[in-house]
């Protein structure tokens, strides 16, 4: 149920922070953000919604028992796979002693979550091209909490209703799901490209089509399984390196996962030589809404005092 007195403060206003802030604003929440930098607006199609999200100069100026801090600060990963979460720690430290609750959304290795202080760990699974829409209506709802966590914010109820899949476990388990998702994407892309590179050299349209026909015959043009450019962007290379760097140590050893980054890096070098290689994007599939789920959504909308058609029109206008 939407609670009109809740205040949402997004900490870290990059890709993930902006998607969360805009989505929460669209869902009717009072939203502000704190970021020591001046990040550019990443979602120009939603330019109007930014006006409803105020920048705070003091991170705790909206603090109360009804305030939720949504921490979306970025991690960094060195070339040899060491994850640096110092900016995230700094942000969490600046929230010590607050009355409100903390939802952590940054991607953090399972073992590194142990020492951090937060109420809920909720990794983000959005794709940058459809980030705001996917944040209004997430495909996956993955929540990690510790024993004795405070009562959930109302938006969890809304997100659960929208989500295709709903997982609740420990913060570490939630983080493993996040890495499983990203690594599975990396693995498929690296495998298909490595296999395609063994078939031929895509220097002409004809040769590219020959390689693609072989791959597509078996994989039917499915996402992450199409021959093309290496995986890039903000997350897949960094998260693949971090996971391999942490877990590829004796006695665990994960040679298959550890090889993905090297395979992708080799293919990346080829891209300059073969500019015809296409770039593929992906997004979560459109939701199929069952009759039961539609009824649940209607029930939430009534309790939230928002007509579903009004909400959908509002989202539609932002597209």
Ligand X SMILES: NC(=O)c1ccc[n+]([C@@H]2O[C@H](COP(=O)([O-])OP(=O)(O)OC[C@H]3O[C@@H](n4cnc5c(N)ncnc54)[C@H](O)[C@@H]3O)[C@@H](O)[C@H]2O)c1
| Closer to ligand X by Cβ: residue 128 or 152 | 128
- Tokens standing for residue 169: 């476990």
74 is a contact residue toward ligand X (CB under 6 A): yes
| Cα separation values, 25 from 32, 46, 302, Å | 9, 11, 18
246 is a contact residue toward ligand X (CB under 6 A): no
107 is a contact residue toward ligand X (CB under 6 A): yes
76 is a contact residue toward ligand X (CB under 6 A): no
| Closer to ligand X by Cβ: residue 38 or 220 | 38
Q: Which stretch binds ligand X (CB under 6 A): 32-40, 114-122, 268-276, 294-302?
A: 32-40
d(CA 64, CA 86): 26
d(CA 70, CA 6): 13
Closest by Cα among 142, 139, 222 to 180? 142
d(CA 183, CA 187): 6
- Least Å from the CB of residue 87 to ligand X: 4
73 is a contact residue toward ligand X (CB under 6 A): yes
Residue nearest to ligand X (CB): 14
| Closer to ligand X by Cβ: residue 11 or 24 | 11
263 is a contact residue toward ligand X (CB under 6 A): no
39 is a contact residue toward ligand X (CB under 6 A): yes
144 is a contact residue toward ligand X (CB under 6 A): no
- Least Å from the CB of residue 188 to ligand X: 18
Q: Which stretch binds ligand X (CB under 6 A): 31-39, 150-158, 192-200, 278-286?
A: 31-39
| Calculated CA dihedral for residues 44, 47, 53, 57, nearest 10 degrees | 60
122 is a contact residue toward ligand X (CB under 6 A): no
172 is a contact residue toward ligand X (CB under 6 A): no
Give the other-Cβ count within 10 Å of 245's Cβ: 19
133 is a contact residue toward ligand X (CB under 6 A): no
The alpha carbon dihedral of 146, 151, 152, 153 has a sign of negative
Binder of ligand X out of 37, 148, 251, 275 (CB under 6 A): 37
Q: Is 125 left (phi over 0), alpha (psi -120 to 50) or beta?
A: alpha
**Secondary structure (3-state) at 113:** helix
Binder of ligand X out of 210, 234, 287, 313 (CB under 6 A): 234
Binder of ligand X out of 10, 11, 104, 122 (CB under 6 A): 11
- Least Å from the CB of residue 108 to ligand X: 7
d(CA 263, CA 183): 13
Q: DSSP characters for 186-228?
A: HHHHHHHHHHHHHH----SHHHHHHHHHHHHHHHTT-TT-SSS
245 is a contact residue toward ligand X (CB under 6 A): no
Binder of ligand X out of 8, 15, 104, 202 (CB under 6 A): 15
Q: Which stretch binds ligand X (CB under 6 A): 30-38, 142-150, 212-220, 274-282?
A: 30-38
Contacts of 66 (CB under 8 A, 6+ apart): 3, 5, 6, 7, 100
Q: Which stretch binds ligand X (CB under 6 A): 6-14, 154-162, 205-213, 262-270?
A: 6-14
3-state helix, strand, coil in the chain (%, to 5): 45, 10, 40
Applying CB under 6 A, which residues contact ligand X?
Answer: 11-17, 34-37, 39, 72-75, 87, 90-91, 106-107, 124, 126, 128, 234-235
């Amino acid at each position: 149920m939407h609670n009109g007195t809740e205040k949402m403060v997004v900490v870290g206003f990059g890709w993930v922070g902006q998607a969360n802030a805009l989505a929460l604003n669209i869902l009717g929440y009072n939203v502000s953000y704190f970021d020591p930098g001046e990040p550019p607006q990443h979602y120009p199609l939603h330019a109007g919604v930014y006006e409803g999200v105020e920048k705070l100069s003091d991170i705790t100026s909206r603090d109360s028992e009804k305030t939720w801090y949504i921490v979306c600060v970025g991690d960094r990963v060195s070339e040899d796979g060491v994850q640096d979460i110092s900016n995230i720690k700094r942000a969490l430290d600046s929230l010590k002693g607050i009355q409100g609750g903390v939802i952590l959304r940054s991607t953090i290795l399972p073992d590194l979550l142990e020492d951090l202080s937060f109420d809920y760990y909720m990794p983000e699974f959005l794709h940058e091209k459809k980030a705001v829409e996917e944040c209004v209506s997430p495909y996956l709802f993955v929540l990690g909490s510790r024993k004795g966590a405070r009562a959930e914010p109302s938006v969890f109820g809304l997100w659960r209703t929208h989500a295709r899949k709903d997982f609740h476990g420990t913060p570490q388990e939630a983080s493993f799901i996040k890495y499983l998702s990203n690594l599975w994407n990396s693995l498929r892309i690296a495998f298909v490209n490595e296999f395609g590179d063994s078939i031929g050299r895509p220097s002409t349209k004809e040769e590219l089509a020959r390689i693609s026909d072989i791959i597509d015959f078996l994989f039917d043009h499915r996402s992450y399984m199409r021959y093309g450019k290496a995986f890039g962007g903000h997350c897949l290379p960094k998260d693949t390196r971090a996971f391999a760097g942490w877990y590829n140590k004796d006695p665990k050893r994960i040679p298959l996962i550890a090889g993905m980054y090297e395979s992708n890096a080799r293919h990346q070098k080829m891209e300059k030589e073969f500019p015809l290689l296409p770039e593929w994007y992906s997004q979560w599939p459109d939701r199929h809404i069952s009759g039961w789920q539609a009824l649940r959504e209607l029930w939430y909308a009534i309790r939230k005092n928002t007509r579903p058609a009004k909400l959908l029109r509002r989202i539609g206008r932002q597209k």
